[in-house]
């Protein structure tokens, strides 16, 4: 869930390219992430998104994250056909992962921020 001020800057990727999510004073943005994608067996797909500062003024956004416990094993709550990895923006299939939420999260951070991985993160366990 995200509240953003009137400066805006949030964009989501669609088949037609990046689309601005214009702020509304009376609304929150609900972003579907990888774990909701996994829990719903792909019925609800995670959303590629980014933030681009639209102007010279500061931007204020207040996100609320609701994630599983670090050691939780997350599997689909409903039976459905699982999407292939090439259907996703990052080529990764969250349904193919077997492990804990913490292991999944560290793997994702490693892919997105390789410099952080080399400098800070613990070595992956095999």
Domain spans of the chain, in order of start? 2-119
3-state helix, strand, coil in the chain (%, to 5): 20, 15, 60
- C-alpha count within 13 angstroms, C-beta hemisphere, residue 9: 17
Q: With CA atoms as reference, report the closest residue to 49 among 23, 7, 21.
A: 21
Token match 């689909």: residue? Answer: 76
Left (φ > 0), alpha (ψ -120 to 50) or beta: where does 99 sit? left
In this structure, the number of other CB atoms found within 10 A of the CB of residue 45 comes to: 16
Q: Where are the beta strands (DSSP E) in the chain?
A: 2-4, 10-14, 17-20, 49-51, 61-63
How much is the mean pLDDT over the chain? Answer: 81
pLDDT for 9-58, tens place per residue? 899 988 899 999 888 888 999 888 888 887 877 778 888 889 887 777 88
Measured CA to CA in angstroms, residue 9 lies from 3, 22, 53, 54 at distances of: 12, 8, 5, 6
Q: pTM for the complete prediction?
A: 0.68
Per-residue pLDDT at 71: 95
For residue 5, is pLDDT > 80?
yes
Give the separation between CA 72 and CA 85, rounded to whole angstroms: 23
Report the CATH number of the 2-119 domain.
2.60.120.330
């Amino acid at each position: 869930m995200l509240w953003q001020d009137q400066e805006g800057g949030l964009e989501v990727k669609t088949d037609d390219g990046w689309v601005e999510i214009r702020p509304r004073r009376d609304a929150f943005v609900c972003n579907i992430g990888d774990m909701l994608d996994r829990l719903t067996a792909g019925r609800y797909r995670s959303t590629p998104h980014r933030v681009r500062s639209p102007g010279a003024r500061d931007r204020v956004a207040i996100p609320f994250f609701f994630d599983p416990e670090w050691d939780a094993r997350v599997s689909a709550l409903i039976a459905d056909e699982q999407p292939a990895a090439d259907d996703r923006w990052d080529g990764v299939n969250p349904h193919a992962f077997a492990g804990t939420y913490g292991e999944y999260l560290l793997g994702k951070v490693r892919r997105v921020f390789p410099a952080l991985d080399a400098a800070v993160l613990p070595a992956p366990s095999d």
